[in-house]
Amino acid sequence: MEQNNYNYVKAELPKSVGKTGVAFLLVGIVAAILAFVLEPARASFSSLLLFVYLMGLGMCSLFLVALEYLTDAVWSVAFRRISEFMTPLIFIAPLFAIPVLFNMHDVFHWSHGEAVQTDKILQWKSPYLNMSFFLIRFIAIVGIMTLFFYLIIRNSGKQDKNPDQKYTRINVKLAAILIPFFGISITLISIDWLMSLEPHWFSTIFGIYYFAGSLLSAFAVLTLFSVKLKEWKILPDFLGRDHFYNLGAFMFAFVNFWAYIAFSQLLLIWYANIPEETFWFIAKFNGSWKYFSIGLILVQFIIPYAALVSQPSKSNYKRLKIMSVWIIFAHLYDLYWLVMTTFDKNGIVFGWIEIGFIILGIGVVLLLFRFVYAKRNLIPVGDPKLNRCINFHI
Amino acid sequence: MRDYSIEPSVVEGKPTFRQIDELIGAPLEKMPDKKFYIAISITGTMFLTGIICWGLSFYYGTGLWGNNNPVGWGFPIVNFVFWVGIGHAGTLISAILFLFRQRWRNGIARFAEGMTIFAVMTAGIFPLFHTGRPWLAHYLFPLPNDHSLWVNFTSPLLWDVFAVSTYFTVSFIFWYVGLIPDFANLRDRTKNKVKKVIYSITSLGWRASNRHWQHYELVYLILAGFATPLVLSVHTIVSFDFAVSIIPGWHTTIFPPYFVAGAVFSGFAMVQNVLIFVRKVFNYEKIITVDILEKMNKIIILTGSMVGYAYAMEFFIAWYSGNQAESFVFINRAFGDYAWAYWIMVSCNVIFPQLFWIKRIRRNIPIMFIIGVLVNVGMWFERFVITVTSLSRDFLPSSWAYYKPTLIDGGILIGSFGMFFTLLLLFTKSLPVVSIAEIKSVIDGAQPTHHHKEANNGK
Amino acid sequence: MENKKIYSVVGLFDTADEIIHASEKVVENGYKKFDINTPFPVHGLNQAMKLKSSPMGYFALVFGLTGTAIALLTMAFMMTFDYPLNIGGKPLFPLPAFIPVTFEVTVLLASIGTVLALLFVFFKMPHNSHPLHDSNYMKKCTTEKFGVCLEADDEKFNEADAKAFLEKLGAKEIETIYTVKEDVPPIFTKQFIGFLVFTVIVISGATYFVTNKLMFMPPFNWMMDQHRVNVQSVSTFFPDSFSMREKVEGTVPRGFMPEEYKESPDSAGKYLQNPLEYNEKNIALGKKKFLTYCSPCHGNLAKGDSRLKDNFPKPPTLHSKKLKEWTDGRIYHVITFGQGVMPSYAKQVTRQERWAIIQYIRTLQRALNPSEEDFNGAK
Question: What's the CATH number where C302 sits?
Answer: 1.10.760.10
Q: C43 CB near a chain A CB, below 8 Å?
A: yes
- Chain A residues close to B253, C-beta within 8 Å: 203-206, 264-265, 268-269
Assigned domain for C377 exists: no
Name the more confident of C347 and B51.
B51
pLDDT band at A394 (very low <50, low <70, confident <90, very high): confident
Residues C61 and C148 in one domain: yes
Residue pLDDT, tens place only, C271-292: 888 888 889 999 999 999 999 9
Residues above pLDDT 70, as percent of chain B:
98
Across the interface, which of A124, A206, A238 has its CB nearest the CB of B322?
A: A124
pLDDT digits (tens, 9 = 90+) for C56-72: 999 999 999 999 999 99
C192 plus C273 within the same structural domain? no
pLDDT of residue C378 exceeding 60: no
pLDDT at position B454 over 50: no
- Mean pLDDT in residue range B134-154: 89
Average pLDDT over residues A198-220: 95
Q: Are residues C314 and C357 in the same domain?
A: yes
Confidence of residue C260 (pLDDT cuts 50, 70, 90): confident
Confidence of residue C226 (pLDDT cuts 50, 70, 90): confident
The pLDDT value given to residue C71:
96
Q: What is the mean pLDDT of residues A315-338?
A: 95
Cβ-defined contact of A266 to C96 (cutoff 8 Å): yes
Please indicate, yes or no, whether residues C61 and C107 belong to a single structural domain of this protein.
Answer: yes
C6 with C133, same domain: the answer is yes
* B244 Cα to chain A: minimum distance (Å): 5
CA angle at A308 for the pair A302 and A314, rounded to the nearest 5°: 165
pLDDT at C2 over 60: no
Q: pLDDT tens digit string along B240-251?
A: 999 999 999 999
Q: For chain A, how big is the Rg over CA atoms in Å? A: 21
Kindly report the CA angle at A84 between A80 and A85, in degrees rounded to 5? 120
CB C114 to CB B154 under 8 A?
no
C210 & C179 share domain? no
How would DSSP label each residue in C247-272?
PPTT---TT--PPS-SS-HHHHHHH-
Nearest to A267 among C57, C89, C96 (CB): C96
Judge whether A207 is closer than 8 Å to chain B, CB to CB: yes
Under an 8 A CB cutoff, do A273 and C88 touch? yes
Q: What pLDDT digit, counting tens, does each position of B51-93 carry? A: 999 999 998 889 999 998 889 999 999 999 999 999 999 988 8
Asked if the structure places residue C198 within a domain, the reply is yes
pLDDT of residue C303: 87
Least trusted range by pLDDT, from B256-270, B334-348, C298-312, C350-364: C298-312
Q: Helix (H, G, I), strand (E, B), or coil: what is residue B138?
A: helix
Q: Which of B307, B311, B305 is nearest to B330 (CA)?
A: B311
Q: Mean pLDDT lowest for which of B139-143, B292-296, C371-375?
A: C371-375
| Same domain (yes/no): C158, C204 | no
Q: Of C225, C253, C274, at which residue does a domain stop?
A: C225
User: For residue B375, is pLDDT > 70?
Assistant: yes
> Once rounded to an integer, what is the mean pLDDT over residues B99-126?
93
Better pLDDT: C265 or C224: C265
Using CB atoms, list chains with 3+ pairs below 8 Å to chain A.
B, C
Residues B388-428 have pLDDT tens digits of 999 998 888 888 999 999 999 999 999 999 999 999 999 99
Q: Is residue C210 part of a domain?
A: yes
Mean local confidence (pLDDT), C358-371: 90
Output the average pLDDT for chain A: 92
- pLDDT over 70 at B456, yes or no: no
Note whether C38 contacts B213, CB cutoff 8 Å.
yes
**Coil, helix or strand at residue C5:** strand
Cβ-based contacts under 8 A for chains A and C: 16
Residues of chain C in contact with residue A393, where contact means CB-CB under 8 angstroms, are 43-44
Average pLDDT of the residues in A161-168: 90
| C-proximal residues of B, 45-104, CB under 8 Å | 59
Across the range C192-220, mean pLDDT stands at 91
Contact at CB, A273 and C99, closer than 8 angstroms = no
The answer as to whether C329 is a domain residue is yes
Give me the residues of C, 216-255, that contact B with CB < 8 A.
219, 223
d(CA C161, CA A327) in angstroms, rounded, equals 58
Residue B307 has, within 13 A of its CA and on its CB side, a CA count of 29
DSSP code of B448?
A: P
> What integer pLDDT is reported at residue A157 of this predicted model?
92
Q: Give the helix ranges, DSSP H, for B4-137.
A: 17-29, 34-60, 75-91, 97-99, 109-130
Whole-model pTM: value is 0.85
What's the rounded Cα separation, in Å, for the pair A118 and A108?
A: 16
Tell me whether residue C230 is in a domain: no
Range of the domain at C157: 1-184
Cβ contact C97–A311 (<8 Å): no
Task: Give yes or no for residue A6 having a pLDDT over 90.
Answer: no
Same domain as C196, residue C59: no
> Is A382 within 8 Å of chain B by CB?
no
For the complex shown, is ipTM > 0.85?
Answer: yes
Distance CA B366, CA B273 (A): 10
**Number of domains chain C is built from:** 3
Q: Which residues contact A216 (CB under 8 A, 6 or more apart)?
A: A251, A254, A255, A257, A258, A327, A330, A331
What is B382-402 written as a DSSP string? Answer: HHHIIIIIHHHT-S-GGG---
Residues C8 and C75 in one domain: yes
Residue B457, pLDDT score: 39
Q: Which of B188, B251, B435 to mutate to test the interface with C (most CBs of C within 10 A)?
A: B188
CB A47 within 8 A of CB A96: yes
Give residue C236's pLDDT: 85
Burial grade of C150 (CB within 10 A; 0-12, 13-18, 19 or more)? buried
Question: Kind and range of the H or E element at B374?
Answer: helix B365-384
Name the closest residue on chain A to residue B230, using Cα atoms: A260
User: What is the predicted pLDDT for the residue at C199?
Assistant: 96
Listed in sequence order, the residues at least 6 apart from B312 whose beta carbon sits closer than 8 Å to its beta carbon are none
Instruction: Give the gap in angstroms from C-alpha C41 to the nearest C-alpha of chain B.
Output: 6
- Across chain B, mean pLDDT equals 92
Neighbours of A67 (CB within 10 A): 18
* C204, C171: one domain: no
The proportion of chain C whose per-residue pLDDT surpasses 70, expressed as a percent, equals: 98
Confirm whether C281 is domain-assigned.
yes
Is the pLDDT at A2 greater than 70, yes or no? no
Decide if A263 touches C, using CB distance below 8 A.
Answer: yes
Q: Which of A4-18, A107-121, B58-72, C351-365 has the lowest mean pLDDT?
A: A4-18
Binding-face residues of C in 119-138 toward B, CB within 8 A: 119, 122-123, 125-130, 132-133, 138
C298-307 average pLDDT score:
85
DSSP assignment of C206-235, as one string? HHHIIIIIGGGSTTTTTTTS-S-PPTT-B-
pLDDT at B267: 94
Provide the pLDDT confidence category of residue A293 given band limits of 50, 70 and 90: very high
pLDDT of residue B453: 42
Which of C111, C125, C209 has the most B C-beta neighbours within 10 Å, making it the best mutation to test the interface with B? Answer: C111
pLDDT digits (tens, 9 = 90+) for A96-136: 999 999 988 889 999 988 888 889 999 999 999 999 999 99
Residue B94 Cα distances to A260, B225, B299, B303, angstroms: 21, 11, 14, 17
| B218 contacts: CB under 8 Å, gap ≥ 6 | C54, C56, C57
Residue B374 has pLDDT above 90, yes or no: yes
Scan residues 124-163 of A and list those with Cβ closer than 8 Å to B: 124-125, 128
Same domain, yes or no, for C26 and C147? yes
Q: Are residues C15 and C79 in the same domain?
A: yes
* pLDDT for the residue C1: 46
